[in-house]
Amino acid sequence: MAANFLALSCIRRDTRAYGNLSPRQHYPSMPTKYPEGVSQQEKKVEGSEYRALFSVVGMTCSACAGSVEKAVKRLPGIREAAVDVLNGRAQVTFYPSFVNEESIREAIEDVGFQAALVENEKSERTSQVCRIQINGMTCTSCSSTVESALRSVPGVHKAQVALATEEAEIQYDPRIMRTDQLLSTIKDTGFKAVLMSTGEDMSNIQLKVDGLRIDHSIEILENSLLALPGVKAIETDPLLQKLSISYKSDLTGPRSFIEVIESTGSGRFKAEIFPQGEAGGRDSHRQEEINQYYKSFLWSLVFTIPVFLLSMVFMYIPGIKDGLDLKILNMMSIGQLLRWILSTPVQFLIGRRFYMGAYKALRHGSANMDVLIALGTNAAYFYSVYSVLRAATSPNFEGTDFFETSSMLISFILLGKYLEVLAKGKTSEAIAKLMNLAPETAILLTLDSEGNIMSEKEIDSRLIQKSDVLKIIPGAKVASDGFVIWGQSHVNESMITGEARPVAKRKGDKVIGGTVNENGVLHIRATRVGSECALSQIVRLVESAQMAKAPVQKVADRISKYFVPLVIVLSFGTWLTWFLAGKFGAYPKSWIPSSMDSFQLALQFGISVMVIACPCALGLATPTAVMVGTGVGASQGVLIKGGQALESAHKVNCIVFDKTGTLTVGKPVVVSTRLLKNMVLRDFYELVAATEVNSEHPLAKATVEYAKKIRGDEENPTWPEARDFTSITGHGVKATVRNREVIIGNKSLMSKYHIVVPLEAEEMLAEIEEMAQTGILVSVDQELMGAIAISDPLKPGAQEVISILQSMKVRSVMVTGDNWGTANSIAKQVGIETVVAEAKPEQKAERVKEFQALGYTVAMVGDGINDSPALVAADVGMAIGAGTDIAIEAADIVLMKSNLEDVITAIDLSRKTFSRIRLNYVWALGYNLLGIPIAAGALFPGAGFRLPPWIAGAAMAASSVSVVCCSLLLRYYRRPKKLDTFEIREITIG
Identified catalytic residue from 14, 481, 658, 867: 658
Measured CA to CA, the distance from residue 879 to residue 867 in angstroms comes to 9
User: Edge-to-edge, what's the strand order for the sheet holding 876-880?
Assistant: 638-640, 893-895, 876-880, 858-862, 654-657, 811-815, 834-836
Residue 827, Cβ density class (10 Å: 0-12 exposed, 13-18 middle, ≥19 buried) = buried
- What angle is formed at CA 159 by the lines to CA 66 and CA 80, rounded to 5 degrees? 25
Measured CA to CA, the distance from residue 198 to residue 204 in angstroms comes to 8
Measured CA to CA, the distance from residue 248 to residue 225 in angstroms comes to 13
Residue 462: Cβ within 10 Å count? 19
The answer to whether the CB of 54 falls within 8 A of the CB of 105 is yes
Measured CA to CA, the distance from residue 874 to residue 246 in angstroms comes to 40
The answer to whether the CB of 695 falls within 8 A of the CB of 15 is yes
**C-alpha gyration radius of the chain:** 34
H or E stretch covering 195: strand 192-198
Residue 658: active-site member? yes
Which sign does the torsion angle of CA 947, 951, 957, 963 carry?
negative
State the angle between helix axes of 369-393 and 615-635 in degrees (0 to 180), rounded to the nearest 10.
140
User: Edge-to-edge, what's the strand order for the sheet holding 203-210?
Assistant: 231-237, 242-247, 203-210, 270-273
Residue 723 bridge partners (DSSP): 736
Residue 981, Cβ density class (10 Å: 0-12 exposed, 13-18 middle, ≥19 buried) = exposed
Measured CA to CA, the distance from residue 870 to residue 866 in angstroms comes to 9
State the angle between helix axes of 615-635 and 140-151 in degrees (0 to 180), rounded to the nearest 10.
80
What are the residues whose beta carbons fall under 8 Å from the beta carbon of 276, sequence distance 6 or more?
A: none
Residue 918, Cβ density class (10 Å: 0-12 exposed, 13-18 middle, ≥19 buried) = middle
Half-sphere exposure of 36 (CA within 13 A, CB side): 10
Measured CA to CA, the distance from residue 276 to residue 341 in angstroms comes to 43
Cα 686 → chain centroid: 50
Phi, psi of 736 (to 5 degrees): -110, 120
Which sign does the torsion angle of CA 321, 327, 331, 333 carry?
negative
Nearest alpha-carbon partner for 695 in 738, 668, 733? 733
Measured CA to CA, the distance from residue 684 to residue 583 in angstroms comes to 107
User: Amino acid identity of 892?
Assistant: D
State the angle between helix axes of 140-151 and 179-188 in degrees (0 to 180), rounded to the nearest 10.
140
Measured CA to CA, the distance from residue 589 to residue 576 in angstroms comes to 17
N residues, the chain: 990
List, in sequence order, every beta strand (DSSP E) within 533-631: none
Measured CA to CA, the distance from residue 143 to residue 161 in angstroms comes to 6
Measured CA to CA, the distance from residue 739 to residue 510 in angstroms comes to 42
Measured CA to CA, the distance from residue 327 to residue 335 in angstroms comes to 9
Residue 459 bridge partners (DSSP): 442
Q: Which positions are annotated as active-site residues?
A: 658
